[in-house]
Amino acid sequence: MSTLIDELPAMFDGVKLAAVATILYIIVRCLNLKSPTAPPEIIYQDTLLSHYLLKTCPMLTKEYIPPLLWGKSGHIQTVLYGKMGRVNTPTPCGVRMFLPMQDGATATFDLFETIGSHTTGDDITMVICPGIGNHSEKNYIRTFVDYSQRQGYRCAVLNHLGALPNVELTSPRMFTYGCTWEFGAMVGYIKRTYPQTLLVVVGFSLGGNIVCKFLGENQSNQDRVLCCVSVCQGYSALRAQETFLQWDQCRRLYNFMLAENMKKIILSHRDSLLAMQCSNIGDGELNRLYAATSLMQIDDSIMRKFHGYDSLREYYEKESCVHYIHKITVPLLLLNSLDDPLVHPSLLAVARTLAEKMPNVIFALTQHGGHMGFFEGAVLFPQPLTWMDKVIVEYTNAVCRWEKKQSICQSSSE
Does 361 score more than 70 pLDDT? yes
Question: Helices 139-150 and 387-413 sit at what angle, rounded to 10 degrees?
Answer: 40
DSSP of 216-282: HH-GGGGTTEEEEEEES--S-HHHHHHHTT--GGGHHHHHHHHHHHHHHHHHTTHHHHHHSTT-S--
Bridge partner list, 43: 363
Over range 397-413, report the average pLDDT.
85
Q: Report phi then psi at 276, rounded to 5.
A: -75, 140
Does 17 score more than 50 pLDDT? no
pLDDT grade, residue 341 (50/70/90)? Answer: very high
Over range 321-346, report the average pLDDT.
97
Q: Determine the straight-line distance between the first and last CA of the chain, rounded to whole angstroms.
A: 103
Domains of the chain in sequence order: 41-59+69-236+320-412 (3.40.50.1820), 247-319 (no CATH)
pLDDT, residue 248, reads 85
Over range 44-72, report the average pLDDT.
94
Geometric angle at alpha carbon 215, from 172 and 142, rounded to 5°: 70
Cβ proximity of 344 and 240 under 8 Å:
yes
Over range 377-389, report the average pLDDT.
88
pLDDT grade, residue 25 (50/70/90)? Answer: very low
Dump pLDDT digits (tens) for 126-157.
Answer: 999 999 999 999 999 999 999 999 999 999 99
Lowest mean pLDDT among 13-17, 112-116, 203-207: 13-17
Bridge partner list, 362: 44, 333
Does 91 score more than 60 pLDDT? yes
pLDDT, residue 5, reads 56
The sign of the CA dihedral 364, 367, 371, 377 is negative
261 versus 378: the higher-pLDDT residue is: 261
Euclidean distance between CA atoms 390 and 301, whole angstroms: 39
Dump pLDDT digits (tens) for 285-320.
Answer: 888 999 999 999 999 999 999 999 999 999 999 999
Nearest C-alpha neighbor of 129 from the set 199, 78, 226:
199
Strand runs (DSSP E) across 5-105, as ranges? 41-44, 95-100
Active site amino acids: 205, 340, 371
pLDDT, residue 316, reads 96
Does 2 score more than 60 pLDDT? no
How many other C-beta atoms can be found within 10 angstroms of the C-beta atom of residue 335?
26
pLDDT, residue 21, reads 44
307 versus 211: the higher-pLDDT residue is: 211
Euclidean distance between CA atoms 261 and 252, whole angstroms: 14
Lowest mean pLDDT among 26-30, 62-66, 84-88, 153-157: 26-30
pLDDT, residue 8, reads 53
Euclidean distance between CA atoms 161 and 159, whole angstroms: 6
